[in-house]
Structure 1
Amino acid sequence: MALRTKNPNRQKTEAIESIKNDVKASSSFIFTEYRGLKVEQITELRKKLRENACSYKVVRNNFARIAFEDANIKDVDSWLTGPTALAMVAEDANMAAKTLFEYAKDAPALVIKGAVVDGEVYDAKQIEAFSKLPGKKDLIAMFMSTVNATTSKFVRTLQAIVDKGGAEAGAPASEEKPAEQPAEA
């Protein structure tokens, strides 16, 4: 959906280009409705999302539609109705989703409509289920603790072998001759 006017407004084309650049720079998008949130709440939410390498931007639906169409991202038109804000995620979409759903508990006016996570389209229920999964950093930490536990157990086993039989196994075997016994007549 390209601009269909002979003389487009410079401000509108700049706004569309800004959204296009944000879309290109992000790997995932979470669509929300912010109707009923106060400015202070949106500012607080932006701050929390920024901690997770995510920006939160209120967009005009028609401009966003054009930007997503140019980026060849489909099936988002149904979420571009009403007051829409986009959480644009650069790194870990899971952490951004967790942050949004945790914030929505305190501010029920925040409605998560759906998401595009690394090219996959998620509806509201799917993105909520996704937010309950462990994040990338959590999974790496779990994996590393498993590797660390296995390695630690192996080292402790080796140490136990050394402690138990190390003196016997490590000492050179002394050759003792059996005592000669007198011959019986």
Structure 2
Amino acid sequence: MSDYTVKIQPEKVEAINALKADFEGVDNFIFTDYRGLTVEQITELRSKLRETGASYKVVKNRFAKIALEELEKPEVGDMLVGPTAVVISGEEAGAAAKELFAFAKDAPVEIKGGIIGGDVFDNKEMEAYSKLPSKTELIAKLMGTMNAPVQNLVYILNAVPEKFVRTLKAYADSKED
């Protein structure tokens, strides 16, 4: 048996390392097929995603697969088939998913699926995820729910002295007559 070694060209190693740097420390990825998008549409999508704290990067499938494997991310299967671009989102992937699906209504971009928090989602699951309220909205709703009983208690506690003062005033007015 002969020794078989694979030599990877330095520029390919650099490209994989650049992808690893982009993917490192991130748990949220959305994979898309960008076929049919014009340069202007891709630029517009990148701009909209940047507002949500995400980035949009066209990737070479093999390099992306190697980078994800080396970073011990879940296997994405056939999401890395055909022309692929990746939405790389930080902590709040919901906003990026909403923006992407809203953009997909008017443009020929196909969402293949994604990785959210280490879990693999297919297209339909990603669409359902995009319809969920964001973390900030959920916290606001929770705070509103927690605040309502306190507001009611304050109202009731203020109403008792006010009613007592009105009663005393009415009594004083009746004694003056």
Bin for the TM-score computed over the shorter chain: 0.7 to 0.9
- Residue 45 of structure 1 aligns to a residue whose secondary structure is helix
Contiguous gaps of at least 5 residues in structure 2: 169-177
Q: Which has the higher helix share?
A: 2
Q: CA deviation at 1:77?
A: 2.9
- Residue 32 of structure 1 aligns to a residue whose secondary structure is strand
Once the two structures are superposed, the pairs formed by residues 50-89 of structure 1 within 5 Å of their partners are 50-89=50-89
Q: Is the 8 A contact 1:33 1:113 kept in 2?
A: yes
Q: Is the 8 A contact 1:27 1:117 kept in 2?
A: yes
Q: CA deviation at 1:143?
A: 1.4
**d(CA) in 2 for partners of 1:130, 1:42:** 23
**d(CA) in 2 for partners of 1:164, 1:19:** 69
**Amino acid across the alignment from 1:148:** N
**Amino acid across the alignment from 2:114:** A
Contiguous gaps of at least 5 residues in structure 1: 170-185
Query: Displaced runs of 4+ in structure 1, greater than 6 A?
Result: none
Q: Is the 8 A contact 2:74 2:119 kept in 1?
A: no
**Amino acid across the alignment from 1:5:** V
**Amino acid across the alignment from 2:140:** A
Q: CA deviation at 1:95?
A: 0.8
Partner of 1:139: 138
Partner of 1:173: none
Q: CA deviation at 1:137?
A: 1.0
TM normalised by structure 1 equals: 0.83
TM normalised by structure 2 equals: 0.87
> How many residues are matched?
164
Q: Does 1:161 align with 2:164?
A: no
Rg larger in structure? 1
Q: CA deviation at 1:156?
A: 0.8
- Residue 133 of structure 2 aligns to a residue whose secondary structure is coil
Q: Is the 8 A contact 1:65 1:77 kept in 2?
A: no
Q: CA deviation at 1:168?
A: 7.5
Partner of 2:22: 22
Cα deviation code 1:101-133 (max 9, x no counterpart)? 0000111x1000001100111110011011111
Q: CA deviation at 1:91?
A: 1.6
**Amino acid across the alignment from 1:151:** V
Q: CA deviation at 1:74?
A: 2.7
Deviates more, 1:137-146 or 1:38-47: 137-146
Once the two structures are superposed, the pairs formed by residues 101-112 of structure 1 within 5 Å of their partners are 101-107=101-107, 109-112=108-111
Partner of 2:31: 31
**d(CA) in 2 for partners of 1:77, 1:14:** 24
CA RMSD of aligned residues (A): 1.7
Q: CA deviation at 1:164?
A: 1.3
Partner of 1:182: none
**d(CA) in 1 for partners of 2:9, 2:33:** 27
**d(CA) in 2 for partners of 1:152, 1:43:** 47
Q: CA deviation at 1:167?
A: 7.4
